[in-house]
Amino acid sequence: MLKKYSPYQLLFISLIAALFVMYPDITWLPFDLGRLTGSEKTNYIAFYLLRYAFLAALVFLLIKINLLRIKTPDFKKRFGYNVIISIVAYAIYGGLSFLMYAKVRHYGSLVLFQFFIISILSTLMGHIITLYNEQRKRELEIEELKVKNLESRYDALTNQINPHFFFNSLNGLTSLIRKKNNEETLTYVNKLSDVFRYILQSDKKGLVTLEEELTFVDAFRYMMEIRFANKLEYHINIDQKTLSQKIPVLSILPLLDNVVVHNTIDSDHKMVINIFVNENNELVISNPIYPKLSPSVTNGTGLKNLEGRFLLLMNKQIKTENKGNVFNVYLPLG
């Protein structure tokens, strides 16, 4: 905390503190001066100023010692250190006052009490600031642990995507190889490479722009349209103004993957997926529902994964809506 204050500010604090300690003397000063005449009055005022400067210097010294040198959290030890320093300072003060103004008693019980008060105030200040710093240190450690925990959870969520998507994407490549369409197979492999590059780099990202995510979706769209022989289409209608908004990386992939997993896609059930931003500034992924004859056995990892990442990174919740014939997912943008 000392670093927050300049030496001039510390000096100002010391002067105010010394003025506070000497306040009883100041109130009696007019009565004391009334009993003195001539040079005695001048000497009295001069030594008052000297004592004030000495006490201010002592306060300044104790502030620095308590904040920079005395590290113990034990109140008794800190108080002992301050009392020893104050006693030494009092001895120096007493010697100076006796040598300079032997006729005037400026080192009696009241002055000793003032030195004692300064040592108490310095001890309290140092102890309180030490406790505050320790509390702040613990809070920072707790926050650091929370951040590391969130990062670990986020990494775990992200790592769940890679194997899940990998096996699904190989199906499309397998069908192209069987058809012996070398040109489309090569394009498919290139798109697959773009997709996996984005996925593998996702562990270094938290939030990405909607534009980045949609660029990834465009590569993924080609793969899916080839895999399902144009029985699957993506209609993307996004205003340019919203492309700079943020969204967790790989937010759209699990939703598009779920459409394939949970729906029948064939000549009689052409799947059209609509992606747009609604009036509530939410990215909407909407698709018709064509239930499979044999429902897919899944554990809901994709959607749970997505919900967890939105809570971790944006502190927002996604919404799902099943209208019977249409399934909508609403992703809040940031």
Q: Is residue 137 part of a domain?
A: yes
Is 168 a domain residue? no
Is 28 among the domain residues? yes
Q: Which domain holds residue 274?
A: 181-332
Q: How far apart are CA 202 and CA 210, in angstroms?
A: 14
Residue 187 and residue 241: Cα distance in Å, rounded?
Answer: 31
pTM metric for this prediction: 0.53
Cβ of 34: how many Cβ atoms within 10 Å? 9
Q: Is 27 a domain residue?
A: yes
- Look at the block and give the residue holding tokens 């992924």: 285
In a domain, 110, yes or no: yes
151 lies in some domain: no
Identify whether 214 is part of a domain.
yes
Q: Do residues 135 and 186 share a domain?
A: no
**CATH at residue 288:** 3.30.565.10
| Residues 195 and 250 grouped into a single domain | yes
Tokens read off for 148: 């590391």
Assess whether 80 and 187 both reside in one domain.
Answer: no
Q: Tens-digit pLDDT profile for the chain (334 aa)?
A: 444 556 777 788 788 888 888 877 777 777 777 777 777 777 777 777 888 888 888 888 887 787 777 777 788 888 888 888 888 888 887 777 777 664 545 556 677 778 888 888 878 877 777 787 788 888 877 777 666 555 545 554 555 555 555 666 676 677 677 777 777 778 878 888 887 787 777 666 778 899 999 988 888 888 777 777 778 889 999 988 899 999 988 888 888 888 888 889 888 899 999 999 999 999 999 999 998 877 766 656 667 777 877 887 888 999 999 998 999 999 999 8
Q: Is residue 169 part of a domain?
A: no
HSE of 263, CA atoms in CB hemisphere, 13 A: 27
